[in-house]
Amino acid sequence: MQYRDLGSTGLKVSALGFGCMRLPKTQDDPKQIDFEASLALFRRAVELGVNYFDTAYLYNDGDSERAIGMFLKEIDRSQVIITTKNPVGHQWYPIPGDQPTGPLFRKCLDEELERLGTDYIDTYLFHDTQLLSFRIVATPAGGPLDEAKKAKEEGLIRHIGISCHDTPQNMLKIIDMGKGAIELIICQYNLLDRANEMAIDYARENGIGVAVMGPVGGGKLMHPSPAYTEAIGAQSTPEVALRFVLANPGVSTAMSGMNTMEQLEENAAAASQTEALSAEELAAIDKLQKDNQELLGLYCTACGYCMPCPNGVDIPGNFAALNYAKVHGLVDLAKQSYKKLGDKSAENCVSCGECAGKCPQHIEIEERLKEVAAELGE
């Protein structure tokens, strides 16, 4: 396993991080974590050199943190680096109107320390941080940011960070708004979505660690794509995906939500390769992606101007499935995505002409829907 500096925190993290949002579930209840299976994965991960585990207050109603807590009882606490996230300010966490956000933030932290069964958290993050909520909820005097700083002084947390799905530009504003308190960011970055490269560069320049979520595109890049594997001579698409993310010098760790031993072993092998992608391999990927961008213009940009369809066909959804096949070579994923459309699939187009002329890309929508049905239908 390769290890990297987590910004200027002084922590060394494994190139592969374990994302604990999608832990194995029991056969009887698909919403209930299988604790024994999860513990088996954690044990094997540590054997393979993984030392970075990411969870959150909201994951699986707290059971993700409880699973990590069970694991911490088995091992030397100093072996692993635990990241978790506070929900105050998160859009899914209702804040009682009569409860100050600072004490509520601390209440959630105390609950998380109890669930994890530890007296400190290595990196503690504001969950799903948005610029507006961070400004309004986190930064006022006596609010969550001040509370996080106080908890750091008390040794309950060692480093402060954010996870963020906001725009790259807003992410930079949030970092600056933190006035030096932000030491880690978690953001999305993968072969299919490179929008955050600017934010990753900014973080690197300012000594901020970067943990990447979705390095395999939320599972999309688990599917075979000869275009990507042939570009660098890799054994699988996930290998290309992880090695691409880890080739960025600003990335500290690439987190993967692994729920099978096979996924864990494959990802650990990719993250353990000592040779980085060469300049020629990166150039091959860049060329492939440049070609892909040109193809995206031919197929669909998902602007939605063609909608709604009077017959219920999800035109952008159908074209997105075609993009997976034609642009990225992810044929299996394309067919799965198309099948999920059900009654909204291209086969239900009746050629009414309602969408004609509405596409700013000048796509002949009716003809393209016929192509989707022919390529991806039964």
pLDDT tens digits, 303-319: 788 999 999 999 989 98
For residues 270 and 313, state if they share a domain.
Answer: no
If you average pLDDT over residues 250-262, what whole number do you get? 93
Q: To which H or E segment does residue 86 belong?
A: strand 81-86
Residue 63 domain-assigned (yes or no) = yes
For residues 9 and 82, state if they share a domain.
Answer: yes
pLDDT of 273 above 60: yes
In angstroms, the CA 261 to CA 40 distance is 9
Quote the pLDDT of residue 301: 67
Residue 283 domain-assigned (yes or no) = no
For residues 206 and 314, state if they share a domain.
Answer: no
Q: Which residue has the tokens 């909201």?
A: 58
Residue 284 domain-assigned (yes or no) = no
For residues 228 and 109, state if they share a domain.
Answer: yes
- Give the CATH number for residue 97: 3.20.20.100
Q: Which of 285, 255, 136 is nearest to 185 (CA)?
A: 255
Residue 288 domain-assigned (yes or no) = no
If you average pLDDT over residues 106-125, what whole number do you get? 97
DSSP label at 377? Answer: -
Residue 285 domain-assigned (yes or no) = no
228 token code pair:
């990507």
In angstroms, the CA 126 to CA 150 distance is 15
Coil, strand or helix at 45: helix
DSSP label at 138? Answer: I
Between 254 and 235, the more confident residue is 254
Local confidence band at 282 (pLDDT 50, 70, 90 cut-offs):
confident
Residue 115 domain-assigned (yes or no) = yes
Q: Do residues 68 and 53 touch, judged by C-beta distance below 8 A?
A: yes
In angstroms, the CA 280 to CA 95 distance is 51
For residues 164 and 30, state if they share a domain.
Answer: yes
Neighbours of 206 (CB within 10 A): 15
If you average pLDDT over residues 77-100, what whole number do you get? 88
Quote the pLDDT of residue 298: 54
In angstroms, the CA 55 to CA 83 distance is 6
Quote the pLDDT of residue 153: 98
pLDDT tens digits, 123-172: 999 999 999 999 999 999 999 999 999 999 999 999 999 999 999 999 99
247 token code pair:
């080739």
Q: Which alpha helices (H) appear in the chain, and where do they start and end?
A: 35-47, 63-72, 101-116, 131-133, 144-153, 168-177, 197-205, 226-232, 237-246, 261-271, 279-299, 315-326, 331-340, 365-376
Q: Which residue has the tokens 């003809």?
A: 367
pLDDT of 94 above 80: no
CB crowding 348-373: b at 16 or more within 10 Å, else e: bbeeeebbeeebeeebebbebbebbb
For residues 337 and 221, state if they share a domain.
Answer: no
In angstroms, the CA 285 to CA 323 distance is 17
Residue 349 domain-assigned (yes or no) = yes
Share of the chain above pLDDT 90, in %: 63
For residues 78 and 156, state if they share a domain.
Answer: yes
98 token code pair:
């009569």
In angstroms, the CA 78 to CA 115 distance is 18
Between 297 and 367, the more confident residue is 367
For residues 58 and 168, state if they share a domain.
Answer: yes
pLDDT tens digits, 327-352: 777 888 889 899 999 999 999 999 99
Quote the pLDDT of residue 299: 56
pTM confidence score: 0.81
For residues 124 and 12, state if they share a domain.
Answer: yes
Domain that holds residue 344: 300-376
Question: Cis (ω within 30 of 0) for the bond into 168?
Answer: no
Q: Do residues 333 and 223 touch, judged by C-beta distance below 8 A?
A: yes
Local confidence band at 52 (pLDDT 50, 70, 90 cut-offs):
very high
For residues 371 and 247, state if they share a domain.
Answer: no
* Chosen domain end from 217, 246, 278: 278
If you average pLDDT over residues 61-75, what whole number do you get? 97
Quote the pLDDT of residue 161: 97
pLDDT tens digits, 162-197: 999 999 999 999 999 999 999 999 999 988 888 899
Residue 48 domain-assigned (yes or no) = yes
For residues 44 and 170, state if they share a domain.
Answer: yes
For residues 273 and 304, state if they share a domain.
Answer: no
Quote the pLDDT of residue 295: 55
pLDDT tens digits, 2-49: 999 999 999 999 999 999 999 999 988 888 999 999 999 999 999 999
Rg (C-alpha) for the chain, rounded Å, is: 22
Local confidence band at 278 (pLDDT 50, 70, 90 cut-offs):
confident
* Chosen domain end from 278, 308, 333: 278
Quote the pLDDT of residue 187: 95
DSSP label at 28? Answer: S
* Chosen domain end from 245, 278, 311: 278
Local confidence band at 368 (pLDDT 50, 70, 90 cut-offs):
confident
Q: To which H or E segment does residue 160 belong?
A: strand 157-164
Share of the chain above pLDDT 70, in %: 97
Neighbours of 123 (CB within 10 A): 26
Domain count, the chain: 2
Quote the pLDDT of residue 292: 65
